[in-house]
Amino acid sequence: MASIWSETVSLPRFAALDRDLKTDVLIIGGGIAGLLCAHALREAGADYALVEADRICGGVTKNTTAKITSQHGAIFHRMLRRYGADLTGRYLGANEVALRKYRDLCGSVDCDFEERDAYVYSRTDRDLLAREYEALKKVGYPAEWAETTSLPFSVVGAIRFPRQAQFHPLKFLGAIAKDLRVFEETKVRELRGMTAVTERFEIRAKKIIVATHFPFLNKHGLYFLKMHQHRSYVIALENADPVDGMYIDAAQNGLSFRTAGDLLLLGGGGHRTGKTGGGWRELEAFAKRKYPNAAISYRWATQDCVTLDDIPYIGRYSPTTPDLLVATGFGKWGMTTAMVAADVLADLVAGRENPYTKLFLPSRSVLHPQLAINAGEATVDLLRPTAPRCPHLGCALRWNADERSWDCPCHGSRFSEDGNLIDNPATADLDLHSPR
């Protein structure tokens, strides 16, 4: 169950930390957000170090579908209603800046960078697309309406974002990581003030950036209430008709499409982590109907942190921790928003103004309906009298038969069949003394 990206590249290796360390900026987490932060700080001449518990890009980053786009699903009519045209336009603007930065960086890196149009489509709900299209026009984004697509079914319409991009994320990250100050196999066990404690050594820093996908400190920021995690699935098909861009369904549980060389990447089957959904079976059934001559070359799954309001949390971890920073909650759009995070956090570290800081403020209002849903889900599974329990906050785990893992429906931690930690926010392995 490896992605096409991890199977087709060898990443550079870095030594583990072998001494106590002092640095101006410590970055915790070696996925795309952490590595782009490190790259931005290096370019600015800052003193920094990045630590990764295992190998760089060993978590969610290797399982992306690798679309670099400002097209983030049918979210902009909701964003316009909540925040108005100015903030909605800023969100789009921040992601367009990220896209331009990728164009510049990928120009000197062999990473299969290709410009592609990005589409959000619907098979049934033309009114939803019309609201989305009108919202984009109000904020001045040059989206275009399309009546037909290259998808293997009819649609009631689609919205095109021109000149977006796709790439091989691990080729890109491997190239930029090789010159960075990185320590692999260096797990941060806890933070004592501005000192990060690993198994053997301590790292003292003036500022710390937590880029661990789901933040691992529970006593600040209330991220366990402000986010939930969502799993989705991908199969890579050979001998399938290609599509002429990158496509995502406006419906939450629809399908996504993009090509990667001669392969068609088909995504979907998603569900809240710890719940049930269509998974690979849904994708395989669709492929059998629409691409009967195709064969599956790769399959993988990924996990996304979803915020209350579709906007990531980038900035101060909490109002009381001015030197502790965070980047999380990218939803399904971690390629562009990780670049946004690197830009915003590098400016915060340097004390510079950034036009997008307030937009992504982690301490913004939590008064959204999703908060009650998150709290209700957590309460049910906290009270459910079954074992095993998640070491994060004690929720009852669910057995995921398709992926043979123990999954937490409260906050999204996942563990292997043997109890080894796969996905955070848990920081410890699972004690499997109780029977299933």
Nearest to 333 by CA among 52, 75, 50: 75
User: What's at 328, amino acid-wise?
Assistant: T
Q: Which CATH number fits domain 4-64+171-225+309-350: 3.30.70.660, 3.30.420.40, 3.50.50.60, 3.40.50.10420?
A: 3.50.50.60
At residue 79's C-alpha, the angle toward residues 73 and 85, to 5°, is 120
Distance (Å, whole) CA 272 – CA 253: 11
What backbone torsions phi and psi does residue 51 show, to the nearest 5 degrees? Answer: -120, 140
pLDDT at site 436: 42
First to last CA, the chain: 24
Name the residue ranges covered by the structural domains of the chain.
4-64+171-225+309-350, 369-422
Mapped onto helix, strand or coil, the DSSP state of residue 153 is coil
Distance (Å, whole) CA 18 – CA 311: 38
pLDDT tens, N- to C-terminus, the chain (436 residues): 789 999 999 999 999 999 999 999 999 999 999 999 999 999 999 999 999 999 999 999 999 999 999 999 999 999 999 999 999 999 999 999 999 999 999 999 999 999 999 999 999 999 999 999 999 999 999 999 999 999 999 999 999 999 999 999 999 999 999 999 999 999 999 999 999 999 999 999 999 999 999 998 888 888 988 999 999 999 999 999 999 999 999 998 899 999 999 999 999 999 888 888 899 999 999 999 999 999 999 999 999 999 999 999 999 999 999 999 999 999 999 999 999 999 999 999 999 999 999 999 999 988 788 887 777 777 776 667 777 888 888 888 888 888 888 888 888 888 888 888 888 888 888 877 644 4
Distance (Å, whole) CA 359 – CA 396: 35
What backbone torsions phi and psi does residue 166 show, to the nearest 5 degrees? Answer: -140, 160
pLDDT at site 431: 78
How many other CB atoms are found less than 10 A from the CB of residue 290?
16
Q: Does domain 369-422 have CATH number 1.10.510.10?
A: no
Paired strand residues for 272: 230
User: What's at 64, amino acid-wise?
Assistant: T
pLDDT at site 276: 83
pLDDT at site 416: 87
